[in-house]
Structure 1
């Protein structure tokens, strides 16, 4: 008696040793499945991304390794009618806000500190004086901001202060497999550009974009996705196009395989995605969809039912296999004839001088004679000596093992 089938070995999942991020470190105790590692940054740096990752069943750490970015609050902005003291903008750097003479400081604090989250502790204040507002209209399509037109009472007569900045969205970027139209006409406020793709390319996104008042384009850069070449399929045919034809991005193939063959990818159709097929269409020899018919009083062991795989027949105890011991899956069908399991019997064990052989039955024991046939598996016999004799050697009985 033995087990039939592949040997299985289970090993514990172990992820690779995680690397320390630049300007930081990784902390962990184990690398086994479901373990968690924690990332920390050096002083003056802040973590960008998730600070923890977990070891998955695929032996990989979840997510991407975070980065340690130097904490820098940057320039807080322009302080009109004043200036900012201090040139450093890293962690705990201190800047001071100053107003020109004659201007009034309007803010929460005259200084700000760069914090751990990369922002200044205080917002940018304002410096202002006594003004008389004037109506002022500017008809320029490329102006981003008009703060105000004013006349200051303590300045010379009719002094006008106007702060303006031109709106220009700039180039939206490079469009692979395509080009941009109207860029030469300008990229200022209200200018528009048109996105074009090369022949046989599929445009994914909007085909036009307009420069907005905030200096950004109204629509992002689209994509020009490449076509796919229809392959020639051995033992099969494509129903909805021809081999070597170009089909657009998103096209799905309808494939039919020859008899005794089947699609290798199941029922999901191959789809063209930017020049490549999501699944390469292939027809493989068909699997056996049903198990081999088992013989009566027997079993069939089938590890796999793919083409070329083999199954094994076995009979129950007390039966002997007559016919092929194995069958093979060939193009969707099991080969050979089904064997039979024929019942086997134990022969008459012979006589015992000065004793008897007794056959154990349901109602007791009786003399076992040579004319008694078809003694089945697991039947038992007992030896009994005549009066005046005793059993010298050997067991007191036996079991039929067919």
Structure 2
């Protein structure tokens, strides 16, 4: 009020309490002392808290309900299990919510399966969590389909199920028209629509008869043959018999009938023949392709007997042979002929000194010898104060793979890794550890007691005494031990 006093107005009854969200007051006997109010939740919600409250008089003199307004929590059925090769469509899992089941592409729900379920007030799904099954889609059988002069086979999948793939191939001498393969689609039909594959025989086209010669054979399809002969006084150059191949081409070379002629000289593998005239006393020159060298005579002459002089030369690769592998390393590359390049690699923990590649040259020598693989060394890791180091080193060096062990002197504990290993990079795998003195901490002093001693590390001893003639109960001295604990419990001083 205006005089500075605080005035409290106290009602002598309990007012009507609030209704919970999604709930209501089901009954109330009044607002006087010992009146009772009851709350209830809407359908699909459960009560959280006390369902009743009683009107009580508090020690401060006012009236209040002895329990707070409860909460109404929505009943949830929880996420339903999805079918294998399918899924579930739903917004939430509360009472009254309907979930729909669906299958992935290539799968369909059985006609006998339920496609949906509803969350019931008791917190269970109406289908009792029975998961529907998604069955794989199957395309019609093509077992009755026959590919004349060809065949078909399943390359993946089985039993004509979804995504089964079938490939069509034709026999040698036939080529395919129509789709090369079909696949079972997700709607249960094959991808070939109305087009069906079929195999058609290959034709090589007509071969003319050579001037001054004859041809026997009129067929032009696969495996047909044509035989050629020359008139008297003419020499056959080229192929005497040619066959229609599965590629649609005639085998052999063009047939010609020439007079007084050695014929086209035989070619060489990895080389060429230079010369355009093949009559009496004409010459041809043989040359090898780059990277090859000629063995035999490079020149041949057409003789009177219509034969080329000498023997057919050959071209062999220019090879440098295997270059060898570095010690503690290996050579990468399988080609050792002209211009081939090999690489050298050192083993793990070794570094290369010298070129990493070499090339085969025209003089049949490698451009570089194999390099040297030198073992990687780590620097001395050092010895921490108050520690002991153990290691096995070779030739005074900490080489790759060297392991160093550390331990601390008595009274110290190791902080860090006790083992260090030299890595292929020339670095240690962990930092150098430290030896830290064991410290038991301040031992404390009893009431009316005096502590003597300022060091609290391993081996240190502190002593106790009492003030005012009081008697010391317990050990008068305590020592810091290896486990970081003080020996004996702290004493105390008896008396007032």
TM-score range, shorter chain: 0.3 to 0.5
Higher-Rg structure is: 2
Give the TM-score of the pair, scaled to structure 2: 0.30
